[in-house]
Amino acid sequence: MKRGHTLKVAFSGILIALALLFICLGGILPAMTYAMPALGGLMLIPAVVELGPGWAWPVYFASSVLGVLLGPDKSAAVLFLFFFGYYPIVKALLEHKVHSRLLCLLFKLLLFNAAAIAAFYISVSLLNVPKMVFSIAGIYLPGVLLLLANFVFLLYDYAVGGVAAFYFSRLHRFISKWLIGNF
């Protein structure tokens, strides 16, 4: 195995561990159930930038499997599995392939809504999350919550872009030198 390949595997392992850490932290406080998987998804940005999507997908899969198996909060693991984990990879691919900003945004919103609906049904059906979790003042409103979640998603999309830009401008040169073995 070449040195560069070994460093890529090690770097992937570090990113998997960090993503898993965030997934596990999602079980500490109820409010962190949503925030920590989102932060865990940000660990995929270095995988996409430094290693490319071909390496980023296995990082996502390993993080997801370990999150489901080891994570104390299965809702946080499901959120990572069904959206936050792969979104930075898909975002990078969409923004690279789809040149129309409006069409790109439409694809992102369709993806988010499909993932949110799937996560809802899996949470309620398989994980036995009570439907009252999706209530406001005792009124069952999953549609309203989905609409509100779309606004939060747009903020998250913007934040992922900002974190990716920060990573590329501040950290990329150091990490890329490390990965090719030029310390």
Coil vs helix vs strand at 72: coil
CATH number assigned to the domain comprising residue 61: 1.10.1760.20
**Residue 103 CB-density burial (10 A; 0-12 exposed, 13-18 middle, 19+ buried):** exposed
Per the structure, the complete domain to which residue 17 belongs is given by 3-180
Q: Is the pLDDT of residue 1 over 60?
A: no
Mean pLDDT of all residues in 34-39: 92
pLDDT in tens, 97-114: 999 999 999 999 999 999
pLDDT in tens, 52-79: 999 999 999 999 999 999 988 888 898 8
Q: Is the pLDDT of residue 139 over 60?
A: yes
> Which residues share a beta bridge with 136?
139
Residue 144 has what pLDDT?
Answer: 82
Structure-model confidence comparison of residues 1 and 31, the more confident one:
31
How many domains, the chain? 1
Residue 125 has what pLDDT?
Answer: 81
Residue 75 has what pLDDT?
Answer: 82
Q: How many helices (H) and strands (E) does the chain have?
A: 9, 2
Residue 182 has what pLDDT?
Answer: 64
pTM reported for the whole predicted model? 0.88
CB 22 within 8 A of CB 39: yes
